[in-house]
A and B are shown apart, each in its own frame.
Chain A
């Protein structure tokens, strides 16, 4: 009932443009087999629809952006249309162009990461590169990567570590460990999301649909590694500093009230490049690659070095290994 009337309304707003039944994301979401989770989602969708209807004076583009589907449920065509809308709106606002990709996972890839604890000097060049690459909010100084300075006598103890050091590095008697999203094979953050706005892609990258996230921050609480960040305010990046090469699930500009995190630089890694942090590290402490390739650097590290992961007992299976020389 509600669904039908909603669809009719949408058709009216689209000025009579014909819609194939169940071709749009909304109907896909609404007509999914109803279990408890889906019905909750339908409720959320309904609430969203009401809000949008009240502002019925807005442009067609805006209307369609409000009512686009979950990224997972959108067809390639719908994704493309959404990207066109997003690019147009950016050009309207700033006069500049962005290039938003929706490149899918490359078959035969499973991305992983290795971090050499002996090599990290705490320079933080990775953090800088990450912030610039991924258009993170400059006002609140959001950073996906943390570099923890550890006292050698304490060993690896995050409670006794310092991630805001300002002195010359490497400091005497200290070593450095970097953390970020570990793209767990068994990610707790994905499990707790009530709206399925975060999921694991085929290449192992855990991504977020910034337009589907409702900002409940369950994932933030579920992550045992402090890998997720929340936009408490509208993120701002000075226009000349905006990285224009973007991915829908990666570094495209976010809004207030949504989650974000490291995506292994999906806009780079799916093009064969290394994430910005790997490229920026001057000491070679960071290695990225395809875990499925038996000749990859990662596989060499896993097979020849003494590797460990953080909180392995939780069974989250992070795809981020630490090792020492």
Chain B
């Protein structure tokens, strides 16, 4: 009888000590978390402690603030970077009329633009550019979009990429990881007229590694 009571008491003590130990470890530091995901979910975070900024090291950047998918961030100003903006300095008559009067002009002035974006059945110049007002782009339903916000035109077809971009899973930041968030837009990386990346040789070839691999 006595031994039964003793064993129950011993088991109870072992359980109690085990529980005390585990709870004290749990409260001690980050190592207690089961894994890294647990840690980052539960560790308190305050933006105030981050004393660095992503723009300290940048010279003046010309940005525009936007709000997309419930997220506020900045993008780079585009119109100031387009060399021949405003377009209406040349395009002062409707495109069709311009084509009819000076057929050779189009090819000469935009000789470096080759449209390799979807098939010609899907897209031509006026899918994005406005016939009536060359200084702006337009949506499929013909609503004007400024060159600064050209990502809105891209987002019409590329919805997945657009959502990933607003969250940060697609595209690049300007400056660094810290706040404020300045994102490159679609056209800062992709040429809208031929958006895919080129094939090229690797930027560095490691002859030492090649020799080592060849020995094996």
Contact = CB atoms under 8 A, between A and B. Distances in A.
Interface string A288-299: 111111111111
Interface stretch (A10-18, A25-33, A63-71, A125-133): A125-133
B176 A273 contact: yes
Given A270-B52, A271-B57, A272-B178, A128 B170 contact: no
A271 B52 contact: yes
A166 B169 contact: no
Name B's interface SS.
loop
Nearest to A126: B203
Contact of A301 (B39, B168, B207, B209): B168
A109 B168 contact: no
A154 interface: no
A110 B36 CA distance: 10
Contact of B210 (A106, A164, A185): A164
Interface string B18-47: 000000000000000001110110010111
A141 interface: yes
A124 B189 contact: no
Interface string B165-180: 0011111110111100
Interface in B154-171: 160, 164, 167-171
Nearest to A295: B71
Interface stretch (A46-54, A208-216, A317-325): A317-325
Given A116-B169, A164-B210, A302-B37, A108 B46 contact: yes
Nearest to A299: B40
Given A185-B36, A290-B177, A284 B197 contact: no
Interface string A52-63: 000000000000
Interface string A267-294: 0111111100000011110011111111
Given A269-B177, A300-B167, A141 B208 contact: yes
A110 B189 CA distance: 29
Contacts of A165: 202
B120 to A, nearest CB: 25
B189 A284 contact: yes
B17 to A, nearest CB: 25
B204 A287 contact: no
Interface size classification for chain A: 35 or more
A34 interface: no
B33 to A, nearest CB: 9
Contacts of A164: 205-206, 209-210, 213
Contacts of B109: none
Given A110-B40, A287-B169, A169 B201 contact: yes
B160 to A, nearest CB: 7
A78 interface: no
Give me the 3 closest cross-chain CB pairs, A-B, nearest first. A297-B168, A272-B52, A108-B49
22 contacts: A106-B52, A108-B46, A114-B169, A123-B203, A127-B204, A128-B204, A169-B199, A169-B200, A268-B176, A272-B56, A273-B176, A274-B176, A282-B197, A290-B177, A291-B36, A292-B45, A293-B45, A293-B47, A297-B168, A300-B168, A301-B167, A317-B35
Interface of B: 35-37, 39-40, 43, 45-47, 49-54, 56-57, 71, 160, 164, 167-173, 175-178, 184, 189, 197, 199-210, 213
Given A167-B201, A169-B201, 6 more contacts: A125-B203, A272-B53, A272-B176, A292-B40, A293-B45, A296-B168
Interface of A: 106-110, 114, 116, 121-125, 127-128, 131, 140-141, 143, 147, 163-170, 185, 268-274, 281-284, 287-302, 304-305, 317, 319, 323, 325
